[in-house]
Amino acid sequence: TTTTTSTTPPLHRSTAHRPRRPQPEWVMAIAQNVKSVVIQIPATAATPFLDWSIAALNDNNTAEVHSVSWGTPEYEYDDEVGVDRLNTELVKFGVRGVSTLFASGDDGTGCYGAKYMPNYPASSPYTTAVGGVYIPLFSEDLAIEADEISGGGFAVAPGNNRTQAPWQEDVVSAYQRSVASGSSKLYTASGRGLPDVAGESCSIKSVRGVEGNHGAAFWSQHSESASCNVTLNHLHPLPPAFDSAYNIIQNGENQKVDGTSAACPVWAGIVALLNDQRMAAGLPTMGFMNPFLYSLTDEDAAFTDITTGANNVESCGPGFYATAGWDAATGLGTPLFGGLQTAAMASAAN
């Protein structure tokens, strides 16, 4: 059977993206009956990502899928530690047949020095970055759009150059030539593109700054997340499908969470299910996912292609717009399990 690992952050790190902890519950909700392990990084850790990766790789029974829902601006990690060291460890996971998935972050394009700045380790060429989508408020057709918080763009550090990710060169170059990518002055064109894929980061879009009896919505008082969780007033009732975010139980209480931190474990659960199918057929695990993901075509029907919305919440500019094909807001799109499963089995046969 497949084993999944969810890694949660040290709470003291001011620069780290600190989600609530939907990872374990939603990995297990998607990949039911798959053994799951939770790793908590000590608050005293000076190099938490390296600590996690080295310990996991030294474990002969390490999980076949690792879901990590936290990160830090790429420039900070590169200045403090350097991306090359951790990239080396991430390569080792792939060699071991282990899939690593990182949330791309809830800062949109990010911004540093008047240029877009993605989060790391999601910006590493050697892991799968998961961005976010949402269903717009009061949507009549439930069409999915890029979430404004979805971390995405192009890596800045030389060690994360796209020459290390040739599987995405064609689609990323095509996107950069399109108007959807905006001005190349705002990003490093040679960088690895992210996210690779996307998942639901919130189920309805909040309306910021609107509150009271005559407003469309107001912030949910029971949530720490300001990106998605809203409570609708009596003037605009919505059907039950428009519940807010992901439900978890924390400290014995029902909680609602959202963000790419929730989308990432959903994808991890899907990869675990693909592994189960392959292992039952005597095949190896999926391992490093990206060459497989970028090899898929429209005929494989493995993704819902997201073509509207932009990730501009923390941006130095208009952000990156979703468009047909890969884009720097939603990657290749959201998962269609049937197509992924068929392709995963067929790729082994080939």
H helix or E strand, kind and range, residue 303: strand 303-304
Is the backbone peptide bond immediately before 121 cis, with ω within 30 degrees of 0? yes
The mean-pLDDT minimum among 57-66, 233-242, 336-345 falls in: 233-242
* 345 pLDDT higher than 90: yes
Task: Tell me the average pLDDT across 78-90.
Answer: 95
- For 89, the token pair is 């460890």
Cα–Cα nearest to 203, from 253, 133, 276, 104: 133
- For 298, the token pair is 């429209």
Tens of pLDDT along 54-78? Answer: 999 999 999 999 999 889 999 999 9
pLDDT reported for residue 228: 53
300-303 long-range contacts (CB < 8 A, ≥24 apart) are: 300/339, 300/342, 300/343, 301/336, 301/338, 301/339, 302/335, 302/336, 302/339, 302/340, 302/343, 303/197, 303/332, 303/333, 303/334, 303/335, 303/336, 303/339
DSSP-derived pairing of the beta strands 246-250 and 253-257: antiparallel
More confident residue, 258 or 123: 123
Contact in structure between 264 and 27 (CB atoms under 8 Å) = no
Instruction: Measure Cα distances from 113 to 162, 191, 196 in Å.
Output: 22, 17, 25
The mean-pLDDT minimum among 95-99, 180-184, 258-262 falls in: 258-262
Helices 260-280 and 23-30: angle between axes, nearest 10 degrees: 40
Q: Taking the alpha carbons of 290, 298, 262, 37 in that order, is the dihedral positive or negative? A: negative
3-state secondary structure of 193: strand
H helix or E strand, kind and range, residue 40: strand 35-40
pLDDT reported for residue 294: 98
Tens of pLDDT along 123-152? Answer: 999 999 999 998 876 666 778 899 999 999
Contact in structure between 87 and 282 (CB atoms under 8 Å) = no
- DSSP assignment of 231-271: EE-TTS---GGG--SEEEEETTEEEEE-SHHHHHHHHHHHH
Contact in structure between 186 and 316 (CB atoms under 8 Å) = yes
- For 120, the token pair is 């790391």
More confident residue, 4 or 260: 260
Confidence band for 104, pLDDT divided at 50, 70 and 90: very high
CA distance 5 to 62: 8
pLDDT reported for residue 86: 97
Give the number of other CB atoms < 10 A from CB of residue 132: 36
* 203 pLDDT higher than 70: no
Tens of pLDDT along 29-52? Answer: 888 888 888 888 887 888 999 999
Cα–Cα nearest to 38, from 1, 64, 5: 5
Counting residues of the chain whose pLDDT is more than 70, the rounded percentage is: 79
